[in-house]
Amino acid sequence: MLNCTTLFLRLRNFGKLASRFPPPLIREYLALNTRESKFAKLPGERNPPRGMETPVALEHEDQIDNILDEPFVMLRQIKDTIHGYIPISATLTRFIDTEHFQRLRYIKQLGTTHFVWPGASHSRFEHCLGVAFLARCMATHFKLSQPDLKITERDVTCVEIAGLCHDLGHGPWSHVFDGLIVPKILPGSTWTHELGSEMMFDSLVKENEIPISQRDQTFIKALIAGDHSRTPEEKPFLFDIVANKRNGLDVDKFDYIQRDSHMIADSINVSPVRIINSARVLDDQICYDIKDANNIYDICAARFKLHKSIYNHRTAKGVEYMIVDALISAEGVLKLAERIFDPKKYLYLTDDIMREIESSERPELAEARAIFKRIRKRDLYKWVDYKVIDWPHREYFRLNVTSKAIVDAANALNPAGEGSSALEEDDVRVDFPVMHYGMKEKNPLDFVRFYSKRTPNESSKAERGVYSNLMPQYFAEHVLRIYTKKTDHFGLVQAGYRAVLASLQKKYPDLDVGMPVFTSDQLAPTPPATEAPTTPKAHSRTTSYTALGGGSGTTPFSNNSFTTVPQTFVPGSPSRTTKRAKGIKRTRDDEEDGPRSDKVVKKRK
C-alpha cells in the first residue's frame, strides 16, 4: 500500500521516490482512494499502456448537475517555476479557462517591486495556480492519512478551487489598489480584495455557466474568506487551509514566500512539503509535529523579512505613491469607485491601465500622464528620512507626524520661500507601514498547536523554551518614512520633519517608558552545586529606551544620524547622473590645472 508521502510526490510530478512503485499499482490505489480514473495518464508517463488510454474528460458535460461530483481526472499539466508540474483536472480547467481568471495574468503579484527588482514581474495568475496545487495537496494529505475525518473528494475540490480563486478580486498593482487607492476614492469604505474575489467568483460561475450548486458556491466563498461561521455544517479545519485566520499558517503564505523570494533571486529556505506532511487535524484544527516548530517559526520570520526588505522597499513605495496620485487625478475619467462594484467593468481593470493612460490624448489625463512619465524617466518621489518605531509608541507618531505638521514646520523654518517656492501639504507623503510575523504584535506560534510522535492524538501549545528563547518582545514594528514630491524641497522637508520630532520630545518628555524584561526573581534557576557569589538583583522590572536602543541620550524621537542632510540639500536624479558627473569632473580639472585656454580645448578635442 502506498503512503501519503508517495501520493504527494506523485502530485509533484511523480518524483524519484514515487517511481519505485509501478504505475498500475499507483493507478489502482488512486482509483480506490481518490476517485481518480485508473486509466488516467500519470505524470512522467509518455503514453499510457495499450488499452488504457485516457478517456475524454467530462464526456457528457451538458448532463452534469454539479461538476464537483466528478472524480479527479488530469487533463493537462502546467510547468510551474516553484512546484514543477502541476496536474490540472477537468473541473479546475473550467475555472482557469475564463476571462475572470486569465485577467490575473495582467496583475503583478508584487505591485511596483519590479521597478527595483526587474525579475519580480510574476503575476497573480501563477501564484493562484501554486496555491490551488498546495491546497489540494494538503486536503488530500488529510484525506489519506486520517480517514476518520471523512473528507470527501468534494471537500478536496472545493478547497482547491478556493485556492485557485482567492485572488480574483485584486486590482491594478495588487495591494496598492485596495491599500492606497480605494481609501482615497472611497473614504470610509470597507471594500477589500477579498470581497472583490467573492464578487468575481460569483460572476465567473454565472457568466461561464459552470454547473455548481449554490451550497458549494457559498462554501467556496467561505473558504476564500476563511470564515467557518458562514457554513457551520462544513468541517472547520478546511477553512484554515487557504485563509487561516487562527494563526496565519496557510498555503497562500507557503506559496508566496517561496515564489516572491525566488523571483528576486534571494530564495528563502522554506519547505512546504515537510510542513504539509507534518500536519494533523486534532480537535478540529490543524496541528503540527513539535519537531517542525522551528520550521514554522522560520516561515513567520520569512514573512517579516519579505515585508521589510521587499514589499515595503523605499523606492517601490515611492513609485506606489506616484501611481496613487496619477489614478486619483484621473478618477473623473476612470470611475474606479464604480468599477469595483461591477464585475463586468472590473474585469478589464488591470495593470494595463497605466499604458491606456499614457497612450491617451485626453486633456483630463494630462496630470496622470505627466506622473507616469516621471516614473519612466526615474524622476521619482524622494525618500527623505525614516525611523523604525517601537510597537508601544506607534500611536504617538501616527497621530502627530502628518504631512500638514511637517509642511507647517518647514515653512516656519523658511518663511520667505528662499531658494524655492513654499511647501504645500500635497508635496509631502508620510508612509507608516506595519511589518509583523503574521499576527501583528503577537507571536504566531502562540496560536499553533503541536503534537509529538509519542502522543500523536493530543495537541498543546509549545512554550518558548521548547523551540527557542531568542524571541523579540514584540513581533511587529512600524517604519516611519517621509517622501517629497519635489526634489528641490528635500532638505527643507527633512528639517520640517525633524522639527516635528523635536516638538514631540517636548510634548512627551516622559515617553521613555520602560519595557518589561525578565529579572532574576521571576525565574526559577536550578540550585547551584556550590554556593555562588551574591549578585545584586534588579529593583525594576523594566528597562529604559536608552538601554534598549543602546545610545546615551537616545529617545523615541531621536533623529536618524545616517540620513542627516543640510536644509538646502538637493539630491541628484539617476537620469541626470551622467551630466552631473561630467560637470563635477570639469570643475575639479579647472581647480587643479587652472583655466583652460582655447588652444588646449581645441587640442583635447
C-alpha cell at 572: 541628484
Q: For residue 580, what is its C-alpha cell?
A: 552631473
Cell of 267: 530564495
CA distance 484 to 527: 60
DSSP string, 148-169: GG---HHHHHHHHHHHHHTTTT
Exactly one of 141, 170, 193, 436 is catalytic; name it. Answer: 193
Higher pLDDT, 522 or 500: 500
Mean pLDDT, rounded, for 519-534: 39
Measuring CA to CA, how many Å separate 240 from each of 227, 230, 274, 322, 551?
A: 9, 14, 17, 36, 44
Picking from 260, 519, 312, the residue whose alpha carbon sits closest to that of residue 435 is 312
pLDDT at 181: 96
Q: Which CATH number fits domain 69-312: 2.60.40.650, 1.10.10.10, 1.10.260.40, 1.10.3210.10?
A: 1.10.3210.10
Q: Give pLDDT, residue 24.
A: 39
Residue 348 has pLDDT above 90, yes or no: yes
User: Taking Cα atoms as reference points, which of 515, 428, 436 lies closest to residue 475?
Assistant: 436
Please name the residue ranges forming H helices in 4-72.
4-11, 23-33
| pLDDT the model gives residue 415 | 72
* Burial grade of 442 (CB within 10 A; 0-12, 13-18, 19 or more): middle
Q: pLDDT tens, 75-101?
A: 899 999 999 999 999 999 999 999 999
Closest C-alpha among 109, 135, 131, 113 to residue 122: 109
- Give long-range contacts, CB 8 A cutoff, 24+ apart: 24-27: 24/49, 26/2
Residues of the chain with CATH 1.10.3210.10: 69-312
Q: For 282-322, how does the pLDDT look when each residue is reduced to its tens digit (9 = 90+)? A: 999 999 999 999 999 999 999 999 999 999 999 999 999 99
112-132 residue pLDDT tens: 999 999 999 999 999 999 999
- Residue 193 is a catalytic residue: yes
Number of residues in the chain: 605
Q: Using pLDDT thresholds of 50, 70 and 90, give the confidence band for residue 576.
A: low
pLDDT greater than 70 at residue 11: no
Structure confidence at residue 420 (pLDDT): 61
